[in-house]
Amino acid sequence: MQQTKRTLRRALPMLLLLAGVLLLSACGEQPMVLDPKGPIASDQKDLILISSLLCAVILFPVLGLTAYIVWKYREREGSTAAYEPHFSHSTKLELIWWGIPILIIIILAAVTARYTYALEPTKPIESEKKAITIQATSLDWKWLFTYPEQGIATVNYLQIPEDVPVKFELTSDAPMNSFWIPQLGGQMYTMSGMGMTLFLQADHEGRYYGSGANFSGEYFGDMKFFVDVKPQSQFDAWVQEVKASPEKLTNDSYEKLAEKGTSPVVLYSSFPEGLFQRIVTKYAPGGHAHGQHNEPTPQSKTDPVQQPLPDAKEDHTQGGSTGTDHSGHTGH
């Protein structure tokens, strides 16, 4: 009885893992992260699988060895297993179990380094099509998306064209949050006084889940949204539709929107010029004083406020706007 229980327990973690895997495949529906719909998420999934495999190389032998040793050397009547109470050192064995993990970690480190540079979020995605720019601002407790090239704005809803790289510019006008669309790629923090860049792309039409992943107060759980990926033509039609809608985002209505509270999906036909830049530079003394810096990597651990902010000029050079920019875009 006791022994059956022991065997069971040892097998339990593996059974559960197995059950989990079965569950995943049986449902036919992959969990979001393992069901990528864009190049970034797809690379990240590959990396997750590679690193899992490298870990499994150690994990399963160790689990097997544990089960074997515990079973074989258990104290019982008439045990024939060897007993060597002073066997406590073996340079050869030690070399093996220091050496193999070192080897695996070196491989994993190399893979990680390669992917880290390849998947650097500020790196534009290679594509024949020009990237569109969308600015995402986390508020208490809703997402404001502004489309500088299209001149429209949305709350808690995104629509993007299929197969077109999207340059997300991220900031916050509330406590820090994190912008995450699991099926398109990993998340990025949104922080007040900072403009972050995250390139994503969707390869397939569909509706994907996105959320604010970092806790930011009372109703942070309501900061979720859906991303509709549509062919370019349908996307353009949607833009026109939104532009025709009566709702406009003005400075006053932005102030109202930024107040604490949740919000349903709202579509705005226009938004105030340079709104995003104003949010980013809100806390910098002298407002927009840092516009002269233009590097597309506004990241630094130590000195955020003084970092370059993605100003309007950058939208042209990086975002590749195609002359469709309207009220939302700072003119030059």
Partner 1 sequence: MLDKIQEFASEFFVTGDPLILGAQVSIAIAMVAIVFVLTYFRKWVWLWREWLTTVDHKRIGIMYIICSILMLFRGGVDALLMRLQLAVPNAEFLHPEHYNQIFTTHGVIMILFMAMPLMFGLFNVIMPLQIGARDVAYPFLNALSFWLFFFGAMLFNVSFIIGGSPDAGWLAYPPLSGLEHSPGVGQNFYIWGIQISGIGSLATGINFIVTILKMRAPGMTLMKMPMFTWSVFSSCIIIIFAFPILTVTLALLFLDRFLGAHFFTLDGGGNPMMYINLIWMWGHPEVYIVILPAFGIFSEIVATFSKKTLFGYKSMVFAMLIISVLSFFTWVHHFFTMGSGADVNVFFAITTMAIAIPTGAKVFNWLFTMYRGRIKFTTPMLWTIAFIPCFVIGGMTGVLLSVAPADFQFHNSYFLIAHFHQVLIGGVAFGYFAGLYYWWPKMFGFKLNEHLGKWAFWLWNIGFYVCFMPQYFLGLDGMTRRVSTYDFDMGWGSLNMVSTVGGFLMGIGFIFQVWQIAYSIKHHEKDVTGDPWDGRTLEWSIPSPAPVYNFAVTPHVEHVDDWWETKQKRAAAGAAKEPRPVYEPIHMPKNSAIPFVKSALWFFVGFGFVWDWMWMAIPALIGVGICMLARSFTYDDDYYIQVDEIERTEAALRGVKA
Partner 2 sequence: MAQAHAAAKGGHGHHDHGHHDLESMKTFGFWLFLITDCILFGTLFATYIVLRGNTNGGPTPEELFQMPMILAETFILLTSSFTSGLAVLAMHQGKVKQLIGWLIVTALLGASFIGLEIYEFVHMVHEGATISTSAFLSGFFALVGTHGLHVSLGLVWMIGLMIQLRRRGITPVTKRKVEVLSLYWHFLDVVWIFVLTVVYLMGVM
Label the pairing between strands 177-181 and 206-212.
Answer: antiparallel
Q: How far is the CB of 111 from partner 1 (least distance, A)?
A: 8
Contacts of partner 2 in 289-328 (CB under 8 A) = 302-303, 305-306
The sign of the CA dihedral 199, 231, 142, 291 is positive
Nearer to partner 1, 247 or 295 (CB): 295
**Residue closer to partner 1, measured from CB, 72 or 248:** 72
Q: Does residue 286 interact with partner 2 by CB under 8 A? A: yes
Task: Please give the backbone phi and psi of residue 5, each rounded to the nearest 5 degrees, phi first.
Answer: -60, -40
Q: Which does 187 bind (CB under 5 to 8 A by kind): partner 1, partner 2, none?
A: partner 1
The one-letter amino acid at 249: L
Q: In what order do the strands lie in the sheet with 132-139?
A: 196-200, 166-172, 132-139, 142-147, 152-155, 266-268
- Rounded to an integer, what distance in angstroms lies between the CA atom of residue 191 and that of residue 301? 12
Whichever of 199 and 268 has its CB closer to partner 1, that residue is 199
User: What is the token pair recorded at 271?
Assistant: 């938004």
Q: How far apart are CA 211 and CA 233, in angstroms?
A: 26
Nearest distance, CB of residue 192 and partner 2, angstroms: 14
Binding mask 26-65 for partner 2 (x = CB under 8 A): ----------------------------------------
Q: Which does 64 bind (CB under 5 to 8 A by kind): partner 2, partner 1, none?
A: none
**CA torsion angle 298 209 232 294 (round to 10):** 0
Residue 286 binding target from partner 2, partner 1, none, CB below 5 to 8 Å by type: partner 2
Residue 4 site contact among partner 2, partner 1, none (CB < 5 to 8 Å, cut-off depends on kind): none
DSSP string, 125-193: PP-SSPPEEEEEEEETTEEEEEETTTTEEEESEEEEETT--EEEEEEESSS-EEEEETTTEEEEEE-TT
Nearer to partner 2, 38 or 193 (CB): 193
The nearer residue to partner 2, 262 or 306, going by C-beta atoms, is 306
Specify the DSSP element, H or E, that contains 38.
none
Residue 17 or 305: the one with the smaller Cβ distance to partner 2 is 305
Least distance in angstroms from the C-beta of 285 to partner 2? 5
Which residues form the interface with partner 2 (CB under 8 A)?
A: 285-286, 302-303, 305-306
